[in-house]
């Protein structure tokens, strides 16, 4: 909870004194004020010395009958007692402070109401924290001089509502807080409130709205460093990490660590996070220096989250070093850490997943299964960020990959239809482009040689002229300079002409490409029409002729005894069913029905369901996002679907796999597709048979400006990783 401000004085106040300085100050009002300021500072460290100083200060203010200072001391003493784990003492001090409510001036009432809300929230007394939050709102509502405390109180109310599951007024309260923050003419408060709102939106799983705010603030944040910059960087790092963007999460954790005004706690938390993120990114180049800084800065003893994060980083370090014993010791220690009523289930899931993965690598499957089960129970009990769920799912997938007991049998059939002409065309286009680039490079080399030759001629002329008289030398030098200038000008003009010619040629090729692809598409459409017509003639036409013959026979013999009319009718009925199924298959080959009617995500799920139903194959999938793809270009949606269909087809037809894992995640501007099987992998035998299909797949991905990575070892399965940038959406 933020410290309440009651005045809008220009300029920042001086930093609070350190506890060692306050300790040796004589008893005075100044000492009490410095002590209260220290306790309200985020850098405050709970200790028994601090508690003793507070008790001495309380005795002084009571003796001198300074009620306002006594109330402030009682409030901060309750906060310190909570930090030390003495909830019973905290309740005693805050109740004593509560008894002064009717005896204080307005400014002190605002501070006390804020402290009462804060302490009762931490104690878990929702009724009283809500009561004093409402009182503070009513007290400050019509008093412009308390606009800043009112803004902070509205923010605290949102946090309280989120804890109690009352989300109805979150948006309206924050909109009011933002409005008041603008009216306060306090840019720091407005910025802080916007960041706070972004953080709340993320906790409510409204990531798009949150990052809209964050992205607007990043330029201001990085160009104007303040004492809050470290906190803002921490929010950005945490939110990127929650969504699985470990690269950006690492960038902002490193920015926090390198801030000149970063606190010890911020540095400790940031370096712990940098170690964990490096582990996820598998980048161990600076691991040793990170670990040294990690040991140097330690942890925030007042936060269970920070303590667990620190211990998790220890485990990750030894895990990366393959020191399983120390890794398991630190993971276990991190999991067992407890503090009052604080809890960090997301970190606990990562810890348990780390332990499970270690035991799995050691072949201790029973222990691995036990820790995976514990992690699963936490995931079911609490709402986890996407990245945490992905870490668990990926680790579990790796575990089950090597424990295939009970897996489904081999998938047998999945037809593939792709156009070889388009593949060959794109290969031809690539070849032409490479040839153009080579010609341009050769042309540049020829010009360089020509320039070198000219320069050599000039040098020879200069050497010859040096033997002549001074006058001739001056004239020769002048001629040489003019000649060099002329040669350079000519070469420059020729280079420009060559570049223009290259651009024009490339432009012509692009135009020709558009013409050729239209011709290719036309030819492909005609071929497809012929193929469909053939199927209709050969399959549907033949069945219709038989059905017609049976009906004509029935017409003559329907009432004749012993004519077999009933059997003919049954045959005709079966034929009509076959005709319907054939026409449906032809229609579905032209355009997947689920894709057209229900959208991309439903079509993928339908495809996976059909694979499971048609083949005894175990299929696992993780799909994030893709809930709103109606504005995607139709050709991109269909191409992405066909790419996924092609990879699944290859896995089913060639891999001889018993298990498929499919993961599709929608990012801000792209989708990533990860498909893995446990089949026979990539061998010399299937390289030739699958070559054409693979080239076609690569060409289609390149056509969408995407990236493809396929790896596989013989008898060790194959995985494909594809990234497709999403084109500009079609405006409705």
pLDDT at 441: 40
pTM: 0.39
Neighbours of 558 (CB within 10 A): 13
CA distance 167 to 161: 6
Both tokens of residue 637? 């949606």
With a cut of 50, say whether residue 732 has pLDDT above it. Answer: no
**pLDDT band (50, 70, 90) for residue 560:** low
**pLDDT band (50, 70, 90) for residue 689:** very low
**Contacts (Cβ under 8 Å, ≥6 apart) of 194:** 178, 181, 213, 216, 217
pLDDT at 207: 62
CA distance 679 to 588: 28
**pLDDT band (50, 70, 90) for residue 419:** very low
Q: What is the pLDDT of residues 176-211, one digit of tens each?
A: 888 888 888 888 788 888 877 877 776 776 766 766
The more confident residue out of 48 and 70 is 70
DSSP state of 342: B
When pLDDT is averaged across residues 297-322 and rounded to a whole number, the result is 87
pLDDT at 274: 93
pLDDT at 273: 92
With a cut of 70, say whether residue 559 has pLDDT above it. Answer: no
| Strand ranges (E), 511-627 | 618-624
pLDDT at 137: 86
The more confident residue out of 354 and 554 is 354
The more confident residue out of 698 and 3 is 698
Lowest mean pLDDT among 136-150, 164-178, 190-204, 413-427: 413-427
pLDDT at 412: 29
Q: What is the pLDDT of residues 368-405, one digit of tens each?
A: 999 999 999 998 888 888 888 888 888 888 887 666 43
The more confident residue out of 504 and 408 is 504
Q: What is the pLDDT of residues 517-529, one digit of tens each?
A: 445 544 544 565 5
Is the separation of the CB atoms in 199 and 242 below 8 Å? no
Percent of the chain with pLDDT over 90: 9
When pLDDT is averaged across residues 91-97 and rounded to a whole number, the result is 89
Instruction: Give the three-class secondary structure for 673.
Output: strand
Lowest mean pLDDT among 354-368, 456-470, 502-516, 601-615: 502-516
Is the separation of the CB atoms in 358 and 331 below 8 Å? yes
Q: Is the dihedral of CA 333, 336, 339, 344 positive or negative?
A: positive
With a cut of 60, say whether residue 688 has pLDDT above it. Answer: no
With a cut of 70, say whether residue 730 has pLDDT above it. Answer: no
pLDDT at 439: 44
| Strand ranges (E), 561-698 | 618-624, 659-666, 670-677
pLDDT at 5: 35
- At residue 689, φ and ψ (nearest 5 deg) are -70, -30
Residue with tokens 């991905």: 701
pLDDT at 12: 46
**Contacts (Cβ under 8 Å, ≥6 apart) of 695:** 423, 427
**Contacts (Cβ under 8 Å, ≥6 apart) of 23:** 49, 53
Neighbours of 38 (CB within 10 A): 21
The more confident residue out of 414 and 491 is 491
**Contacts (Cβ under 8 Å, ≥6 apart) of 494:** 447
With a cut of 90, say whether residue 568 has pLDDT above it. Answer: no
Lowest mean pLDDT among 297-306, 398-407, 441-450, 711-720: 441-450
The more confident residue out of 409 and 262 is 262
pLDDT at 270: 92
Instruction: Give the three-class secondary structure for 13.
Output: coil
With a cut of 70, say whether residue 445 has pLDDT above it. Answer: no
Pick left, alpha or beta for residue 631 (phi over 0 → left; psi -120 to 50 → alpha; otherwise beta): alpha
Residue with tokens 């160009």: 223
pLDDT at 590: 57
Lowest mean pLDDT among 94-98, 424-428, 484-488, 677-681: 424-428
Both tokens of residue 496? 């420009």
Q: What is the pLDDT of residues 275-294, one digit of tens each?
A: 999 998 988 888 899 999 98
pLDDT at 430: 40
Mean pLDDT estimate for the chain: 77
Is the separation of the CB atoms in 125 and 84 below 8 Å? no
The more confident residue out of 85 and 440 is 85
With a cut of 70, say whether residue 684 has pLDDT above it. Answer: no
Nearest Cα neighbor of 160 from 191, 128, 195 is 128
Pick left, alpha or beta for residue 326 (phi over 0 → left; psi -120 to 50 → alpha; otherwise beta): alpha
When pLDDT is averaged across residues 723-727 and rounded to a whole number, the result is 88
Both tokens of residue 38? 């220290």
Is the separation of the CB atoms in 675 and 661 below 8 Å? yes
**pLDDT band (50, 70, 90) for residue 140:** confident
Lowest mean pLDDT among 16-25, 472-481, 516-525: 516-525
Cα 244 to chain centroid, rounded: 4
CA distance 260 to 263: 9
pLDDT at 494: 84
CA distance 60 to 50: 15
When pLDDT is averaged across residues 44-71 and rounded to a whole number, the result is 88
With a cut of 60, say whether residue 429 has pLDDT above it. Answer: no
| Strand ranges (E), 340-435 | none
CA distance 622 to 244: 14
pLDDT at 377: 92
pLDDT at 478: 83
User: Which residues pair with residue 624 across a beta bridge?
Assistant: 665
Percent of the chain with pLDDT over 70: 75
**pLDDT band (50, 70, 90) for residue 175:** confident
CA distance 216 to 583: 54
Q: What secondary structure does DSSP assign to 436-454, as a single string? A: HHHHHHHHHHHHHHHHHHH
With a cut of 80, say whether residue 309 has pLDDT above it. Answer: yes
CA distance 1 to 664: 38
CA distance 388 to 412: 35
Q: How do 659-666 and 618-624 pair as beta strands?
A: parallel
**pLDDT band (50, 70, 90) for residue 9:** very low
* H helical segments located in 225-286: 229-242, 246-258, 264-281
- At residue 676, φ and ψ (nearest 5 deg) are -135, 140
SS (H, E, C) 455-504: HHHHHHHHHHHHCCCHHHHHHHHHHHHHHHHHHHHHHHHHHHHHHHHHHH
With a cut of 70, say whether residue 355 has pLDDT above it. Answer: yes
**pLDDT band (50, 70, 90) for residue 224:** low
Q: Which helix (H) or strand (E) holds 680?
A: none
* H helical segments located in 243-263: 246-258
Lowest mean pLDDT among 170-179, 191-200, 413-422: 413-422
Q: Which helix (H) or strand (E) holds 417?
A: none
CA distance 98 to 287: 51
């Amino acid at each position: 909870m933020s410290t309440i401000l009651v005045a809008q004085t220009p300029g920042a106040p001086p930093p609070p004194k350190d506890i060692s300085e306050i300790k040796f100050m004589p008893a005075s009002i100044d000492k009490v004020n410095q002590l209260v300021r220290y306790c309200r500072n985020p850098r405050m460290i709970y200790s028994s010395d601090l508690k003793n100083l507070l008790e001495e200060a309380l005795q002084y203010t009571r003796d001198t009958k300074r009620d306002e200072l006594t109330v402030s001391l009682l409030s901060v003493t309750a906060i310190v007692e909570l930090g030390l784990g003495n909830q019973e003492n905290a309740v005693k001090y805050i109740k004593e402070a509560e008894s002064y409510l009717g005896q204080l001036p307005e400014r002190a009432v605002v501070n006390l109401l804020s402290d009462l809300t804060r302490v009762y929230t931490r104690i878990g007394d929702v009724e009283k924290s809500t009561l004093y939050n409402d009182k503070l709102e009513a007290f400050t509502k019509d008093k412009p001089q308390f606009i800043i405390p009112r803004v902070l109180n509205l923010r605290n109310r949102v946090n309280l509502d989120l804890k109690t599951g009352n989300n109805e007024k979150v948006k309206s309260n924050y909109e009011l807080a933002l409005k008041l923050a603008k009216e306060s003419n306090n840019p720091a408060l407005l910025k802080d409130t916007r960041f706070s709102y972004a953080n709340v939106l993320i906790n409510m799983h409204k990531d798009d709205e949150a990052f809209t705010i964050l992205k607007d603030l990043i330029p201001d944040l990085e160009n104007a460093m303040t004492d809050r910059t470290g906190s803002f960087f921490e929010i950005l790092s945490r939110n990127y990490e929650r969504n699985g963007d470990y690269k950006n999460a690492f960038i902002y954790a490193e920015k926090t660590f390198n801030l000149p005004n970063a606190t010890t706690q911020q540095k400790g938390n940031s370096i712990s996070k940098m170690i964990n993120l490096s582990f996820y990114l598998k980048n161990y180049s600076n691991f040793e220096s990170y670990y040294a800084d990690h040991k140097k800065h330690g942890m925030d003893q007042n936060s269970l989250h920070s303590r667990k994060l620190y211990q998790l980083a220890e485990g990750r370090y030894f895990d990366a070093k393959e020191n399983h014993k120390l890794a398991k010791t630190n993971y276990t220690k991190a999991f067992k850490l407890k503090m009052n009523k604080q809890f960090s289930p997301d970190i606990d899931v990562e810890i348990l997943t780390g332990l499970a993965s270690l035991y799995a690598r050691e072949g201790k499957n029973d222990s691995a299964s036990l820790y995976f089960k514990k992690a699963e129970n936490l995931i079911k009990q609490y709402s986890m960020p996407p990245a945490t769920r992905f870490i668990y799912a990926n680790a579990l997938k790796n575990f089950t990959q090597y424990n295939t007991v009970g897996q489904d049998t081999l998938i047998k059939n999945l037809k593939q239809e792709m156009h070889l002409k388009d593949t060959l065309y794109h290969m031809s286009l690539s070849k032409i482009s490479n040839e153009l680039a080579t010609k341009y490079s050769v042309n540049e080399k020829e010009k360089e040689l020509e320039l070198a030759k000219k320069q050599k001629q000039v040098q020879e002329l200069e050497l010859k002229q040096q033997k002549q008289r001074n006058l001739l030398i001056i004239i020769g030098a002048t001629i040489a300079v003019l000649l060099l200038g002329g040669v350079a000008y000519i070469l420059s003009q020729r280079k420009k002409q060559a570049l223009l010619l290259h651009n024009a040629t490339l432009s012509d090729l692009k135009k020709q490409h558009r013409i050729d692809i239209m011709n290719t598409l036309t030819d492909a459409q005609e071929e497809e029409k012929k193929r469909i017509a053939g199927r209709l003639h050969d399959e549907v036409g033949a069945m219709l002729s038989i059905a017609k013959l049976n009906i004509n026979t029935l017409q003559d013999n329907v009432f004749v005894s012993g004519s077999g009319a009933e059997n003919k009718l049954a045959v005709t009925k079966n034929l009509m069913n076959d005709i319907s199924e054939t026409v449906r298959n032809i229609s579905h080959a032209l355009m997947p029905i689920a894709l057209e009617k229900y959208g991309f995500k439903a079509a993928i799920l339908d495809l996976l369901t059909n694979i499971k139903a048609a083949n005894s194959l175990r299929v696992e999938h993780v799909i994030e996002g893709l809930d709103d793809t109606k504005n995607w270009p139709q050709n991109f949606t269909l191409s992405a679907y066909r790419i996924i269909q092609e990879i699944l087809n290859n896995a089913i037809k060639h891999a001889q796999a018993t298990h498929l894992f499919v993961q599709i995640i929608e990012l801000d501007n792209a989708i990533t597709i990860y498909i893995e099987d446990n089949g026979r992998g990539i061998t010399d035998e299937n390289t030739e048979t699958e070559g054409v299909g693979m080239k076609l797949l690569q060409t289609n991905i390149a056509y969408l400006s995407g990236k493809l990575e396929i790896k596989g070892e013989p008898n060790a399965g194959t995985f494909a990783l594809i990234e497709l940038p999403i084109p500009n959406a079609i405006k409705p």
